[in-house]
Amino acid sequence: MSNPSGSNAKLAIVAAVLVGLFAIVAINRYVRERTAVPETPRVCVLAATAEIPAGTILSDDQLTVAELPAEGLSNLHVALPARGEPGFEAALAEAKAKFVGHAAKRLIAPNTPVFWIDVEDEPQETLADLIGEGMRAVTLPVDTVSSVCGFIRPGSRVDIVLTATESRLGLPRQGAEDEADRVVSMVIMQNVPVIATDRAYRLGEEAEGYGTLTLNVPTRAALALVQARTMGTLTYLLRNVRDDRVETERARNVVYPGAAFGDTIRELGAKEAKQ
């Protein structure tokens, strides 16, 4: 016959073991819950890919995305949606567009957030931004006389006069072989935009007492101006910016060797009277 008291003892032992196991599991769970470090939510913000010195004009490749704890987010950060969320790429592109082309106010360390206050309010336009599509910038020396006493400024429009002798210009000689060359002054370009005087190219920041003009012209015109400098003297005629007329027959005047200045003026007047 079986011993009832022995079976009861075994059941008591099994029950005690199970209760102990349950107690150990409960205690472990309680300890883990009390000692576990809660996971901190993180957010995406705009950051620098590399060191950006103060004054640098920001470009797209200098900006990236970094993550930081949500509790550290402030209204100075450029917050973005989480990666993979709808609208993340569009928000990133929009945020970058607000910084690209602006100058950094301070040194921004690599992999650190870029703040809204870290850039100048207005994009810093460079001289290259002022050059028209298909155009080229060419710089030419000027003096007080050829620059209209310095009244030519960025944004002005000018006509360009070349003065040289017939032989320098390769024109056929009109006088006898033993006569001196005639001097020719002709308008070689009209309504040419000036984009800089010396290194000043922003309105209101014009250089005083400058020695060069930078013009915005097609490539072939730039080559012609470079050549014209070696052939004679260039003079710039300041135009009213609202006067955009281009004369089909460019003005030209010839001074004959030995002719009195009065004779030249009278001939010029006669030509104008016929027009």
**pLDDT tens column, 192-250:** 999 899 988 876 666 678 999 999 999 999 999 999 999 999 999 999 877 878 887 76
Do residue 101 and residue 225 come from a single domain?
no
270 and 140, same domain (yes or no): yes
CA atoms of 158 and 22, how far apart (whole Å): 96
The closest alpha carbon to 100, from 146, 48, 40, belongs to 48
Give the pLDDT of residue 275: 55
As given in the structure block, the two tokens for residue 76 are: 């100075």
Q: Are residues 269 and 209 in the same domain?
A: yes
Question: Does residue 72 belong to any structural domain of this protein?
Answer: yes
Q: Are residues 211 and 85 in the same domain?
A: no
270 shares its domain with 180: yes
| Residue 215: C-alpha distances to residues 14, 146, 219, 222 (Å) | 100, 14, 11, 9
What backbone torsions phi and psi does residue 84 show, to the nearest 5 degrees? 90, -15
Structural domain of 106: 42-118
Residue scoring higher pLDDT (128 or 237): 237
- pLDDT for 255 beyond 60: yes
β-bridge mates for residue 63, sequence order: 48
Asked if 246 and 114 sit in the same domain, the reply is no
Q: Which one, of 64, 63, 51, 58, lies nearest residue 110 by Cα?
A: 51
Does a structural domain hold residue 17?
no
| Number of folded domains that form the chain | 2
Residues 95 and 153 occupy one common structural domain? no
* Same domain (yes/no): 96, 220: no
Task: Determine the Cα–Cα distance for residues 169 and 127; give it in Å rounded to an integer.
Answer: 33
Domain with residue 98: its CATH number is: 3.90.1210.10
Task: Please check the confidence at residue 173 and state whether its pLDDT lies above 80.
Answer: no
Residue 260: is its pLDDT beyond 60?
no
The mean pLDDT value of the chain amounts to 80
Query: Does 30 map to a domain?
Result: no
Helix (H) or strand (E) holding 222: helix 219-231
Give percent of the chain above pLDDT 70. Answer: 70
User: What HEC string does 18-67 produce?
Assistant: HHHHHHHHHHHHHHHHHHCCCCCCEEEEEEECCCECCCCECCHHHEEEEE
Residues 108 and 134 in one domain: no
**Residue 3 placed within a domain:** no
Whole-structure pTM value: 0.54
**What are 45-62's pLDDT values in tens digits?**
999 999 999 889 999 999
Tell whether 8 is covered by a domain.
no
pLDDT digits (tens, 9 = 90+) for 70-101: 777 777 889 999 888 888 999 999 999 989 98
146 with 244, same domain: the answer is: yes
51-89 CB burial, b ≥16 within 10 A, e <16: ebeeebbbeeebbbebebeeeeeeeebbbbeeeeeeeee
Answer with the residue of higher pLDDT: 238 or 12: 238
Last residue of a domain, one of 118, 141, 167: 118
Domain boundary among 58, 83, 118: 118
Q: Are 112 and 178 contained in the same domain?
A: no
Residue 113 in any domain: the answer is yes
Q: Do the domain assignments include residue 19?
A: no
**Domain end point (choices 56, 85, 118):** 118
- Mean predicted confidence (pLDDT) in 169-178: 65
Burial of 129 (0-12, 13-18, 19+ CB in 10 A): exposed
114 plus 175 within the same structural domain: no
Residue 18 lies in a domain: no
pLDDT grade for 65, boundaries at 50, 70 and 90: very high
